[in-house]
Amino acid sequence: MKYLDNDPVKLNGPKDAVVIIDQTRLPKETVFLELKKLEEMYDAIKTLSVRGAPCIGVFAGYCMAVLSLEQRGADHDGFIKAMKENADRLNLSRPTAVNLSWALSRQIRKIESMTDSGPEDMSRALFEEAERIHEEDIRMCLSISENGLSLLKNGDGLLTHCNAGALATTRYGTGLGPILLGKERGYEFRVYSDETRPLLQGARLTAYELAKAGVDVTVICDNMANICMSEGRIDAVLVGCDRVASNGDTANKIGTSGLAVLAKHHGIPFYVLGPYSTIDMNCDSGKDIKIEQRDPEEISTMWYEKPLTVEGAKYYNPAFDVTDHDLITAIITDKGILYPPFKDSIKKVMS
Ligand code: MRU
């Protein structure tokens, strides 16, 4: 089932542009952007018009396909060189979600393996690989949702942070997947959605998706999670992830690690949900994960007519934080539910 009227990422009819829903405009307006040029694509990721780790991966796959159309006149080596430059540029747009570099390198590996092919064939292969990445994402999200749902009970109160739904992937989502799948099967959950300062993905996108699917959703400010937990409203916390280190440390939207500390204090299960492609075996721990720093204006002026704070105050705006593996009850992937010790369960699933 589709919970959104439109896919957040797809190709246009003639297959010469990537079409996205501009997520910065939701929920007020549904605006589509048709992107053909490298810098437009870079900006779409950078400004969060397209966002959410798996969705960025699918988008990157399609971008490489569309950009290859400009290189069909090149020779074999020139084609590969130009596509590597495109990939390098896109990879600079956001550093934390591993799915971006994962999809870009997958596309580069594809064309590098075609030693005897010309640009036309390599370009065609990039389109086919992009479709495969997209279809895999849909399948992975469904498996994650099934696995997550097996841990929940009808009537549960659930807390989520940021947006890890169909907008952040390509169907169902990861963190919201079990909720949406459960709704389809007659479960009634009570979902608390953190607003998620500073960009309000929870208030704008999660509330929009859940309300559209008919799920009972309550938006809270980020600093209200503790009272909700202490009042017994929350049975489990479900969040997505942008990169998982091989020891189970997990990067996700800023504020996630604080929720994990609170959940441990209250004895509430804390579940991280994501596809196997979010696990980065090159990172031994969360210390190896690069945290994106964003424009201070997202805090100071973006949502206000005039700045609220005094002139001269400084701002610190890390977009993600790392949740220590000790605070995580389980990592729910498409390949199964991983439990501590994560070093072992991750190694097993990745081999
Ligand atoms: O900055 P964003 O909105 O791209 O951050 C998104 C998140 O942190 C999500 O939880 C994560 O990417 C997983 S999405 C299925």
- CATH fold of 148-350: Rossmann fold (3.40.50)
By three-state DSSP, how is residue 318 classified? strand
Instruction: Output the CATH code of domain 9-142.
Output: 1.20.120.420
Q: How far does the centroid of ligand 1 lie from the alpha carbon of residue 52, in Å?
A: 4
DSSP string, 258-299: HHHHHHHHHT--EEEE--GGGEETT-SSGGGSPPPB--THHH
Q: Whose CA is nearest to atom 10 of ligand 1?
A: 240
What sign does the CA torsion over 95, 249, 134, 102 have?
positive
Flag whether pLDDT at 109 surpasses 90.
yes
pLDDT at residue 124, rounded to an integer: 98
251 lines ligand 1 (CB under 6 A): no
Can you tell me the mean pLDDT for 92-112?
96
pLDDT at residue 306, rounded to an integer: 86
Q: How far does the centroid of ligand 1 lie from the alpha carbon of residue 95, in Å?
A: 12
Closest ligand 1 atom to Cα of 99: 12
Q: Lowest-confidence range among 1-5, 254-258, 277-281?
A: 1-5
Catalytic, out of 194, 242, 321, 334:
242
pLDDT at residue 2, rounded to an integer: 59
Q: Please choose from 162, 252, 270, 295 the residue to mutate so as to test ligand 1's pocket, defined by most ligand atoms within 8 A of CB.
A: 162
Can you tell me the mean pLDDT for 95-124?
96
pLDDT at residue 91, rounded to an integer: 98
206 lines ligand 1 (CB under 6 A): no
Percentage of the chain beyond pLDDT 70 is 99
Q: Is residue 242 annotated as a catalytic residue, yes or no?
A: yes
Q: Report pLDDT digits (tens) over 31-75.
A: 999 999 999 999 999 999 999 999 999 999 999 999 999 999 999
Distance CA 86, CA 35 (A): 14
Distances (CA, A) of 210 to 138, 195, 218: 18, 14, 10
Q: How far does the centroid of ligand 1 lie from the alpha carbon of residue 97, in Å?
A: 8
pLDDT at residue 170, rounded to an integer: 80
- pTM for the predicted model, two decimal places: 0.96
Percentage of the chain beyond pLDDT 90 is 95
Pairing of strands 243-245, 250-253: antiparallel
Residue 3 banded pLDDT, cuts 50, 70, 90: low
Mean pLDDT of the chain: 96
249 lines ligand 1 (CB under 6 A): no
Residue 335 banded pLDDT, cuts 50, 70, 90: very high
Q: How far does the centroid of ligand 1 lie from the alpha carbon of residue 35, in Å?
A: 21
Q: Report pLDDT digits (tens) over 146-171.
A: 999 999 999 999 999 999 999 999 88
Q: Any idea where the domains of the chain sit in the sequence?
A: 9-142, 148-350
Flag whether pLDDT at 4 surpasses 90.
no
Q: How far does the centroid of ligand 1 lie from the alpha carbon of residue 161, in Å?
A: 9
pLDDT at residue 302, rounded to an integer: 92
Q: Which residue has the tokens 């997550």?
A: 148
257 lines ligand 1 (CB under 6 A): no
